[in-house]
Structure 1
Amino acid sequence: MYKVNLNAVTGNTTVAINQVHFDSRKVSLNDVFVAVKGTVVDGHDYIEQATNNGAIAIVCEKLPKSVVNGVTYIEVDDAQSALALIAANFYGNPSHDLKLVGITGTNGKTTISTLLYQLFKKAGYKVGLLSTVKILVDNKEFKATHTTPDSLTINSYLKMMADAGVEFCFMEVSSHGIHQKRTEGLEFAGGVFTNLSHDHLDYHSSFAEYRDVKKTFFDQLSKSAFAITNVDDKNGLVMLQNTKAEKFTYALKNYADYKAQILENQFDGLLLKIEGNEVWTKLIGNFNAYNLLAIYATARQLGLEQIDILRYLSELESVSGRFQYVVSPSKITAIVDYAHTPDALKNVLETINSIRTKNEELITVVGCGGDRDKTKRPVMANIASTLSSKVIFTSDNPRTEDPVLIIEDMEKGVSPENYKKTMSITDRKQAIKTACQLANSKDIILIAGKGHETYQEVNGKRTDFDDFKIVKELLNQLNK
């Protein structure tokens, strides 16, 4: 049971409660309402609505001017932290009943967490997954809405997992989730750091703050946990500086506890040597070599045998929207990838270029999201136009921004020698269609940015949009 530090209490603390909420609209009779200050909305503005809806207790950082008789008011320093601890206690601290592993970093979180789920299922365990793409309670699937859900949602799913006999859960841990204290009150058996590159600077004030927020996840691990970090990333060792957890490293280039070497890198897979053993995997590219090594290291720390892990690695299938590809009848290869950061886009393009013979063209379709970090737009455009034969700039999820202006921000990053390579088509489906029309036999089309997403968000409205489904249909329609 976690203790929540209280500054003041008004009313009776022995009341029986029904549910805990931080959204006043969900509050009903005898519920607790936690007034959290969000990035857009302050829960303190909705305390009155919560009491009108039947809240029996209010947790807040500042008491309202008028209090309601019969309602208990609890004043705390940090409502976000209080919410996380209350959520853990309310659901019986379910993270203590299984082995929870958090994966954090800019790129690779979804792939590593999802493939660890696959691997441990193959090993015969009941497994849970909390990821950007989906939530899995052993074999039961639920829709994911955030990379790292809110504290109540996390604990409710962990409770479900514990009740179902799940032994291991693999969870993506985002910088937003760490900063907003969503992972407080959780007992992690281990943490994994993938890499750090330019992302979320619309939310964090600087790259240093983004890095330090990631680091706090490792700072909070217990001495009984393990911390695994990528030492080929210049921030890898920073993550381990203050952790109490047992430290382990992995790398392709530098000395590390877990070391791998790429022997072959082709469109149909990777041949790796991991700790002296060769293993063929269905995944592609240098970035996936890192992902597979992180998976291997995690599985070793969780007690699986080396020979079993290697066998399961060879059986793993790629994650939806992560270097997902289709080959048309005329041998055009179309690749869909979630690459939405400069580093991820560079990794994917360099992987494709390292495999292709250069006799074929690489046509990239890419956009940048609206209402997000604007500084990465010209950087991504520069990378795409430098590493591709042709580039089509288009819409991603414009959200509330004008897609034309987003594309104009991107175009500013194109070097003069690459101008002729580029064109701009605002409509994403038309951009994909144009790429298919331009492609000839053996050419490669990369559609970057949205990956697994099956929607496009414009002015607050989501419409069906699936890059992989669309490019597959267009290649068939065009008889390519």
Structure 2
Amino acid sequence: MKLSNLLEKLEFEVTRGNSGERIDPEVVEIKDVVNDNRKISEGSLFICIKGANFDGHSCAKEAAEKKAAAIVVSQDVELPEGSDIAVIRVKDTRYAMAFISAAYFGNPASKLKTIGITGTKGKTTTTYLIRNMLENAGHKVGLIGTIEVIIGDEHIHAENTTPESFALQEYMAKMVEAGCDSVVMEVSSQGLMLHRTQGFTFDIGIFTNIEPDHIGPNEHTDFEDYMHCKSLLFKQCKVGILNGDDVHVDDILEGHTCKVQTYGFNEDCDLRAINLAYIHKPGELGVFFDTDGFLNMHAEIKTPGKFSVYNALCAIAVAHNLGCTPEEIAPALKEAKVKGRIEMVKVSDDFTLMIDYAHNAMALKSLLTTLRDYHPNRLICLFGCGGNRSKLRRFEMGEVSGRYADVTIITSDNPRFEEPEDIINDIETGMKKTDGKYIKITDRKEAIAYAIDHGEQGDIIVLAGKGHEDYQEIKGVKYHMDERELIQEILDERK
């Protein structure tokens, strides 16, 4: 492949080695594209990426010595004397990598309907809802998100919510090859900040909601920065579908370049939910509602609360934009399930048990207040907190559970390099600010067994924090642990 084909949508300057002599990119042939110095080989194009802990620019000399054809840089680099490697100077190598990767894989996004979802909460659930609806209408849909990447029948464990641009383009190319006509993906604020989704324009961009999160040394400097990064999606999509009830929606739309549609409960929204009714049966919680606005239909979802209605409204709006009918949308909504997101697990006719990923105070409060609307006999919350993470999260989650649950079972999550009992004691510090009842059981299986054995008629039991995860991380080792399997083992033992 000619270098010029990879650079056609970028501003750049190409020079030879240390000489500074200009080169025509038409005459440089590229065998492959890499951003990992361990994968450099003769004829490669090596992209120097500056990360939090390592700067690829330090490997420029190594790339020349391994006879790479070219390197992409954003700063001066050291090269061997007499090197004739092509040096491509760009303003930002991450931004350039997105466009280079898209060209390298044949611009696969142009062959797919692309749907990107950003927001603090609801991204994962909404991606699966949209995929279910579109597949129900006869589309073949790829998925990229926090839990996994789905390409046809292949399920690949996800490392990041939004992969690096090279991996993202590679996944989309494989989707095209597998016969997919659409892809729905979670677009994190980090992914937008680091240009992972550049190189193409989304057909539909979605905003679910925003609250302070991901603010820290290696993430966002403050809430304004976090919000700004989320807003970038609406300068990179054709149609923006946004939660019109969110107080920050106007900030998210600042400088937008897309056509805008809104969903929510307010009368100003283009698609509204009306006539809500809660479903509460043993082992099942859900909502009935009707829609009003640009589409009128009756909907039923088997997950609880208003936030489930928001997710469903968003998915309905997307499906409608892509030509799906109410007759195709309704059954897909009713049957949609997402692993570890308010996932009901039937264990008894007396009480309801669910698994959810809520792993910070904000998410836990949202979940518990939603479940309160179903007037349980008792609301029981089982959770732990991750080791080597902020102690503040532990205090906050303990306080939230103490205030909103009737009984809290404090247990272990991923202790990492800390002692589980130390983490549990930190959670207890937050609990003690409330009058909430609680018990401490370090072993997570024992804690779940306690919850099941002590379940009463009409209780709702939440196993929070692990969600889709199927491991427990202890002292640097990930041990297999799936809560669904633990529940089944407990039930088998009780027989």
State the TM-score, normalized to the length of structure 2: 0.88
- 1:229/1:370 Cα in 2 relative to 1: closer, same or farther (>3 Å)? farther
Retained in 2: the 8 A contact 1:129–1:137?
Answer: yes
Distance 1:207 1:41 in 2: 26
Verify: 1:318 aligned to 2:337, yes or no.
yes
Aligned residue number for residue 402 of structure 2: 385
Verify: 1:343 aligned to 2:362, yes or no.
yes
Distance 2:61 2:477 in 1: 30
Deviation at 1:198, TM superposition (A): 3.4
Verify: 1:29 aligned to 2:42, yes or no.
yes
1:237-316 matches, within 5 Å, as 237-261=250-274, 262-266=276-280, 267-275=284-292, 276-314=296-334, 316=335
- 1:56/1:459 Cα in 2 relative to 1: closer, same or farther (>3 Å)? farther
Distance 1:4 1:307 in 2: 45
Q: CA RMSD in A?
A: 2.4
Runs of 5+ consecutive residues of structure 2 not aligned to the other structure: 18-22
Verify: 1:355 aligned to 2:363, yes or no.
no
Moved more, 304-313 or 75-84: 304-313
Aligned residue number for residue 467 of structure 1: 483
Deviation at 1:49, TM superposition (A): 4.1
- 1:42/1:457 Cα in 2 relative to 1: closer, same or farther (>3 Å)? farther
Retained in 2: the 8 A contact 1:114–1:131?
Answer: no
Verify: 1:15 aligned to 2:34, yes or no.
no
Aligned residue number for residue 98 of structure 2: 84
Larger Rg: 2
Deviation at 1:441, TM superposition (A): 4.8
Distance 1:390 1:6 in 2: 61
- 1:282/1:444 Cα in 2 relative to 1: closer, same or farther (>3 Å)? closer
**1:192 counterpart (206, 212, 215):** 206
Distance 2:137 2:389 in 1: 40
Retained in 2: the 8 A contact 1:334–1:471?
Answer: no
Deviation at 1:125, TM superposition (A): 1.3
SS of equivalent to 2:230 = helix
- 1:405/1:162 Cα in 2 relative to 1: closer, same or farther (>3 Å)? same
Distance 2:85 2:200 in 1: 29
Retained in 2: the 8 A contact 1:226–1:301?
Answer: no
SS of equivalent to 2:263 = strand
Distance 1:433 1:51 in 2: 60
Distance 1:408 1:195 in 2: 33
CA displacement 1:179-236 (0-9 Å, x = unmatched): 1110111220011111112321232222222111111121333xxx110111222122
Aligned residue number for residue 47 of structure 1: 60
- 1:366/1:329 Cα in 2 relative to 1: closer, same or farther (>3 Å)? closer
CA displacement 1:50-87 (0-9 Å, x = unmatched): 44555322212223223362422222221111111111
Retained in 2: the 8 A contact 1:229–1:237?
Answer: no
Amino acid at match of 1:163: E
**2:224 counterpart (208, 211, 216):** 208
Verify: 1:455 aligned to 2:471, yes or no.
yes
Distance 1:299 1:440 in 2: 40
**2:122 counterpart (88, 92, 108):** 108
Deviation at 1:146, TM superposition (A): 1.4
Distance 2:339 2:80 in 1: 50
Verify: 1:3 aligned to 2:9, yes or no.
yes
Distance 1:370 1:302 in 2: 43
Distance 2:119 2:458 in 1: 34
Deviation at 1:9, TM superposition (A): 2.5
State the TM-score, normalized to the length of structure 1: 0.91
Deviation at 1:457, TM superposition (A): 2.4
Deviation at 1:330, TM superposition (A): 6.3
Amino acid at match of 1:10: R
Distance 1:130 1:44 in 2: 29
Distance 2:177 2:310 in 1: 34
Deviation at 1:20, TM superposition (A): 1.4
Amino acid at match of 1:454: D
Retained in 1: the 8 A contact 2:136–2:329?
Answer: no
Deviation at 1:110, TM superposition (A): 1.0
Moved more, 347-356 or 112-121: 347-356
Aligned residue number for residue 413 of structure 2: 396
Amino acid at match of 1:127: V
Aligned residue number for residue 196 of structure 2: 182
- 1:100/1:133 Cα in 2 relative to 1: closer, same or farther (>3 Å)? same
Retained in 1: the 8 A contact 2:407–2:438?
Answer: yes
- 1:110/1:306 Cα in 2 relative to 1: closer, same or farther (>3 Å)? same
Kindly, what percent of the aligned residue pairs are identical? 35
SS of equivalent to 1:59 = strand
Distance 1:41 1:370 in 2: 25
Runs of 5+ consecutive residues of structure 1 not aligned to the other structure: none
Distance 1:374 1:456 in 2: 19
Count of matched residue positions in the alignment of Structure 1 and Structure 2: 472
Retained in 2: the 8 A contact 1:381–1:413?
Answer: yes
SS of equivalent to 1:145 = coil
- 1:210/1:394 Cα in 2 relative to 1: closer, same or farther (>3 Å)? farther
